[in-house]
Amino acid sequence: MYDTPFHQSDISKHSFLVSGGAGFIGSHIVEYLLKWKAGKVVVLDNLATGNINNIQAFIGLPNFTFIEGDICHPTDCEKACIDIDFISHQAALGSVPRSIENPLATHQVNATGFINVLIAARNSNVKRVVYASSSSVYGDLNESPKVEERIGKPLSPYAVSKLVNEQYAAIFASTYNMQIIGLRYFNIFGPRQNPNGPYAAAIPLFIESLMNNQPVYINGSGEQSRDFTFVENAVQANIKAMLCENESAVNRVFNIACGDSVSVNSMFESIAKEINPGAKAIHRGERFGDVKNSKANINAATQQLGYTPQTNFETGLKQTIAWFKS
């Protein structure tokens, strides 16, 4: 992966902080930056849901620093931001059900932690902050595909926390004259996504269950759909958002997806075909807080950031399954 660059400028002159860089998406951003010889890459992560194995290969490189720290602690954020040019902020507690079980923890990390990162970025004169928002901000909006200008009411504490990120980003940009770009990810999947635990995302969970001959449960009819997006595309979006010189892209939020819609049933069929043809899923009740259908219009990211997804759902899924098998 990452054999062709998404950037044109010389990143050996720049320093990058990836918060949540030991997690799934963050570790891919780190991998890309180190592969293309970034001047300095710092990871700030408390390993709450991430895994040191995701970045083990980079520890010891002269241009890489891992800070085991918490974005809820302002001093950890200040330390991580020293001499940093660009931040890719990925640290958060993901998962809608987790946020329903513990809304305070989700708020503390996703909302308060985000403010800590923004304050530290401001104090260190960081050039630009790019942060992970989520398609969950579209909430109950019954419109497809989703365009950035129109959102609905959030359906979970997680969605509220991401919406609050967008609102604080806008206020910090205007109040402190900062450059901040939000990326509304739509169901990112790929190698290194955690299949374990009660809050695992569907794709790694289904792959792991099928590989281990365990039952696969689909919530509701399975006709709910998602704009499943291979992680390489999310990395491209982060790199382009951090480095793009188009001023009209700054202080906005962008959908990051493929612009396609795949039902959970057909996602399951695609995985089963590769691992255990003929396997059947068990349907159970709908999950509270889930949105029904989610498909993005990605024109804004394409026009403003030059974002063009390079790997579609089926190709990304094959690569993901190959990684889990290996």
* Residue 25 zone, left/alpha/beta (φ > 0; ψ -120 to 50; rest): alpha
132 binds ligand NAD per the rule CB under 6 A? yes
Q: Does 114 bind ligand NAD (CB under 6 A)?
A: no
Return the residues of window 259-318 that contact ligand NAD according to CB under 6 A: none
Q: Does 111 bind ligand NAD (CB under 6 A)?
A: no
Residue 15 or 134 with smaller CB distance to ligand NAD: 134
Tell me the number of residues near ligand NAD by CB under 6 A: 30
Tell me how far, at minimum, the Cβ of 181 lies from ligand NAD, in Å: 14
What is the Cα–Cα distance from 50 to 37, expressed in whole angstroms? 23
- Has 158 been annotated as catalytic? yes
Name the nearest CA neighbour of 180 among 137, 133, 235.
133
Residue carrying structure tokens 């009740």: 285
The answer to whether the CB of 55 falls within 8 A of the CB of 23 is no
Among 90, 99, 236, 270, binds ligand NAD (CB under 6 A): 90
Burial class (CB in 10 A: 0-12, 13-18, 19+), 151: buried
Question: Which of 185, 206, 268, 324 forms a contact with ligand NAD (CB under 6 A)?
Answer: 185
Here the tokens at position 106 are 């989700």
Q: Looking at 32, 131, 138, 158, which residue is catalytic?
A: 158
Of 52, 53, 33, 50, which is closest to residue 42 (Cα–Cα)? Answer: 33
Nearer to ligand NAD by Cβ, of 74 and 276: the residue is: 74
Q: Which of 6, 24, 66, 324 touches ligand NAD (CB under 6 A)?
A: 24
CA distances in angstroms from 57 to 30, 33, 43, 76, listed in the order given: 11, 13, 13, 23
Residue 59 in the binding site for ligand NAD (CB under 6 A): no
**What are the residues facing 133 on neighbouring strands?**
184
Contact between 48 and ligand NAD per CB under 6 A: yes
94 binds ligand NAD (CB under 6 A): yes
Query: Which of 116, 134, 255, 294 touches ligand NAD (CB under 6 A)?
Result: 134
187 binds ligand NAD (CB under 6 A): yes
Cβ 9 to ligand NAD shortest distance, Å: 25
Cis peptide before 157 (omega within 30 of 0): no
Closest CA to 87 of 14, 153, 36: 14
What's the token pair of residue 165? 């990120």
Least Å from the CB of residue 313 to ligand NAD: 13
CB atoms within 10 A of CB 60: 8
Q: Which of 88, 185, 77, 186 lies closest to 129, judged by CA?
A: 88
Which one of residues 18, 23, 118, 235 is an interface residue with ligand NAD (CB under 6 A)?
A: 23
Task: Specify whether the CB–CB gap between 311 and 232 falls below 8 A.
Answer: yes
**Binding span for ligand NAD by CB under 6 A among 15-23, 119-127, 219-227, 275-283:** 15-23
Q: Which residues are catalytic?
A: 158
> What residues line the site for ligand NAD (CB under 6 A)?
20, 22-26, 44-50, 70-72, 90-94, 109, 113, 132, 134, 185, 187-188, 194, 201
